Amino acid sequence: MTDFGEVRHDSADTSTTSRRFNLANDSIGSHDFWIEVPTGTHRFISLPAPTTRQRQLRKPLEEDGLILGHRRASEAAATETYSIPASARPLAYEAPVTREGAYSYTDEELFHDLGDLLGSLSHKYGDDPQMVATDVTRVLALVDFVQPGERQVYFTPGVERLLVPRPPEVSAEGQYAEQLETVFSGRFDEVAIYFRMGFAEAAAAARGE
């Protein structure tokens, strides 16, 4: 179901990010919040420190800049915090953008980049391939108003905790496409080819082609 979630007008925690933009995930204990400081308002995601295995899974994603924001906690801290852009929002609430020009991020580009992002994940771990265990749209974030050439889609912080080994008989691409089709229905059908192109290009890049 697409919604911005339950509305809590009586919330005592006035710094929780609005439901429409919130990238928190209860299943991994992450919290999306913002704070006011003299230099302005800053937004963060915090979550418990990862296990050693989770750190290993995160490393290649982090090295390639595929995780949203900048991690600020030290390796030894009990929790870690990511500073993230104010405009970052869950993928699922996106209305279609199919026209305009060079400074518009259209559906074709969005789904191509999603294919590329998820394709990169599928080829990051060599003989130990991983895939996202939950609904993939819950671990993807979109950032608006970027400079030309900057990435607009990312994995949300903590994605490494939602990875599971991919059985050889399972097609990650097919499973992700199915989930995107559930969320975006007819819209995804129109641009599925761009998703598959992005996925294939990521595979080719991983093979060094």
Residue 103 Cβ vs another protein, minimum distance, rounded to whole Å:
5
Judged by CB under 8 A, the chain residues 37 through 76 that form the site for another protein are 41, 43
Contact at 8 Å (CB) between 148 and 101? no
Binding-residue total with another protein (CB under 8 A): 53
Strands lying side by side in the sheet with 140-142 = 89-90, 140-142, 153-155
Judged by CB under 8 A, the chain residues 136 through 165 that form the site for another protein are 142, 144-148, 150, 152
Going residue by residue from 74 to 93, which x/- string records binding to another protein, judged by CB under 8 A?
-----------xxxxx---x
> In angstroms, what CA-CA distances link 182 with 67, 154, 178, 186, 189?
24, 20, 6, 9, 10
Look-up of token digits 């800049």: 65
Stretch of 13-21, 49-57, 64-72, 75-83 lying at the interface with another protein (CB under 8 A): 13-21
3-class state of residue 9 by DSSP: coil
Contact at 8 Å (CB) between 69 and 85? yes
When asked if residue 125 is in the footprint of another protein (CB under 8 A), the reply is no
When asked if residue 21 is in the footprint of another protein (CB under 8 A), the reply is yes
Residues near another protein (CB under 8 A) are 1-9, 11, 13-22, 34, 41, 43, 85-89, 93-97, 99-106, 110, 142, 144-148, 150, 152, 184-185, 187
